[in-house]
Structure 1
Amino acid sequence: MTYCIAASLNEGLVLVSDSRTNAGIDNVSTYGKMHAFETSEDRTIVLLSAGNLATTQAVLEQLKRDKIKDAKININTVDYLSEAAQYLGQVSLEKQKQHMDAEGQSAFNPSATFILAGQIGDEPPAAYMIYAEGNNITTSAHTPFLQIGETKYGKPVLDRFLKPDSDLDEAALCCLVSMDSTIRSNVSVGPPIEMVIYRKDSYKLDEYYCFEAENAYMLNLRKSWEATLREAFSRLPSLDKTKSKSLLADL
């Protein structure tokens, strides 16, 4: 399983991904799901991936080949990030179809989902989620983040704290807590955890972090978050028992 987050805020982007691809009893394997591209100076593009690993690798290779061969459409020729998302969706569909028969059936599930994030030219930084079907969505003022993979455990903290005007460094902490919450509840998501903070108009990916298992900072973050939650829980108002009645009274 996988968990990836892209927070698209006024100040820039926060991208976080885990690296676990298998979590059997005696076999844990990892594969990076955050992929940065070497592009022209007027753009920065990062790809997060979830789903079939073979499809993901094939899509990445095609994007790289198109760029090297200077194909008519590649990540350096598109004028907008939305165009890059459409291009990625078409490439993904083509790679999935290679594993299907004439009736559109396959012996395995070749689908993959992606988040394409970055900045091109003078347009604001943005993030797009590309579904296995090739279509895409972006963030909104009410939901300034995207998730792929095992999304349910880490969503509550993002819903409560992330806003378009959130401070970028605070958003990074929020995304790390979201990732840690998912790891705590699902063994199929795990380290190394990769994170990049992209600041608007910088066109640089120099704020990159990789947290291995038992990383001291992540352990401290987890302990601090859990202690804060326990303290908050202890301050909740007591249940008003004066309004209670017997369930048997209605039977």
Structure 2
Amino acid sequence: MTYCVGLLLDAGMVLLSDTRTNAGIDNISTYRKMFTFEDPGERVVAIMTAGSLSTTQTTIARLEEAIEEGGPRSIMSAPTMLGVAEIVGDTLTEVSGKVADKLGDRAQSARASMIVAGQRRGGDPRMFLVYSEGNFIEATGDTPFLQIGEHKYGKPILDRVVRPSTSLADAQKAALLSMDSTLRSNLSVGMPLDLTVIESNTCSIARTRRIEAEDETFQAMSAAWSAALRDSFATIEI
């Protein structure tokens, strides 16, 4: 399985994904689920994937091929971020349909979803959750984050903390703690993690980071969060 989360804020966007892929308890692998495309100052697009590895890898490969060829199917030449989401949705639908046809009775395992985020010069930062059927929903001021994969464990902290006015520094902390909660509760989500930060109106990636299991900063944050929860729990009276 997987867990990916994207936060859409006034200051920019924060995206975080794990890398674990499993096809059974004895077949666990590491695959990147975060893909970024950048024309600095003009356009930046980030895509995170969950679901069938065959479907998502093929979809990303086709999107990359379309970028090289140029033309209307390229996410780097679509006139708007809505157009980018539509291209990703159409490509995902086409690929998942072909994979499903080959799988027959196991067609359900061809399903996948993607978070598409980015900004073009002159437009607003936007973030979409794209489904296998090609339809999508968009992050809004009321719900400024999107999740795919094993989202239930990491959602409570996002609901309580994240607002459009949240700073990029606090948003990174919230995303990492959301991931930490998921890692503790679900073995199908695993390290290393990929983090990408995009500042508003720059149309470029401000920060990208691979976080390994032995990362001291992440470990310290996880331990501090656990201690804070225990201390808060002890002070509550009923």
Same fold (TM over 0.5): yes
Write out the 4+ residue segments of structure 1 that deviate beyond 2 Å after TM superposition: 23-28, 38-41, 99-102, 104-108
What is the distance in 1 between the residues matched to 2:82 and 2:197?
Answer: 21
What amino acid does structure 2 have at the position aligned with 1:10? D
1:83 and 2:83 are equivalent in the alignment:
yes
CA contact (8 A) 2:15 2:195 kept: yes
- What residue in structure 1 maps to residue 74 of structure 2? 74
Residues in 1 aligned to 2:43 and 2:81: alpha-carbon distance in whole angstroms: 9
Contact 1:19 1:193 in 2 (8 A): yes
Matched, 1:136 2:131: no
Shift of 1:40: 6.7
Q: Residue 97 and residue 193 in structure 1: after superposition, are their counterparts in 2 closer, same or farther (change >3 A)?
A: same
Structure 2: how far apart are the matches of 1:27 and 1:54? 15
Match of 1:247 in 2: none
2:119 — aligned with what? Answer: 119
Give the aligned residue type for 1:213: A
**Is residue 225 from structure 1 mapped to residue 225 from structure 2 by the alignment?**
yes
The equivalent of 2:171 in structure 1 is 171
Amino acid at match of 1:87: I
Q: Output the CA distance in 2 between the equivalents of 1:132 and 1:57.
A: 13
Normalized per residue, which structure has more helix?
Answer: 2
| Equivalent residues of 1:192, 1:211 under 8 A apart | yes
Amino acid at match of 1:78: A
Contact 2:72/2:78 (<8 A) preserved: no
Aligned residues: 237
Aligned partner of 1:147 in structure 2 is: 147
Structure 2 CA distance for aligned equivalents of residues 30 and 101 of structure 1 = 27
Match in the other structure for 2:205: 205
Paired residue for 2:36? 36
User: Unaligned 5+ residue runs, structure 1?
Assistant: 240-251
Give the match's secondary structure for 2:106.
coil
Q: Answer with 1 or 2: which has the greater Rg.
A: 1
Q: Is the 8 A contact 1:55 1:96 kept in 2?
A: yes
Counterpart contact for 1:39–1:75, Cα < 8 Å: no
* 3-state SS in 2 of match to 1:119: strand
For normalisation by structure 1, the TM-score amounts to 0.89
Following TM superposition, by how much is the alpha carbon of 1:136 offset from its aligned partner in structure 2, in angstroms? 0.6
SS at match of 1:165: coil
Q: CA RMSD in A?
A: 1.8
Counterpart-to-counterpart distance in 1, 2:167 and 2:100: 45
Could you tell me how far apart the structure 2 residues matched to 1:73 and 1:26 are? Answer: 39
Query: Contact 2:5/2:145 (CA < 8 Å) preserved in 1?
Result: yes
Q: In structure 2, do the counterparts of structure 1 residues 231 and 84 end up closer, same or farther at CA, with 3 Å as the change threshold? A: same
Residues 56-75 of structure 1 mapped to structure 2, 5 A cutoff = 56-75=56-75
Q: Distance in 2 between matches of 1:56 and 1:229?
A: 37
Q: Determine the structure 1 residue equivalent to 2:191.
A: 191
2-structure distance, mates of 1:38, 1:154? 29
- Ranges in structure 2 where 5+ consecutive residues have no aligned partner: none
Q: Secondary structure at the match of 1:118?
A: strand
Amino acid at match of 2:153: Y
Q: Deviations over 1:67-108 (max 9, x none)?
A: 111132311221111111011111111111212449x95534
1:61–1:122: structure 2 CA closer, same or farther, 3 Å change rule? same
Contact persistence 1:23–1:188 (CA under 8 A): no
Sequence identity percentage: 38
Residue 40 of structure 2 contacts residue 203 of structure 2 at CA under 8 Å; is this kept in 1? Answer: no
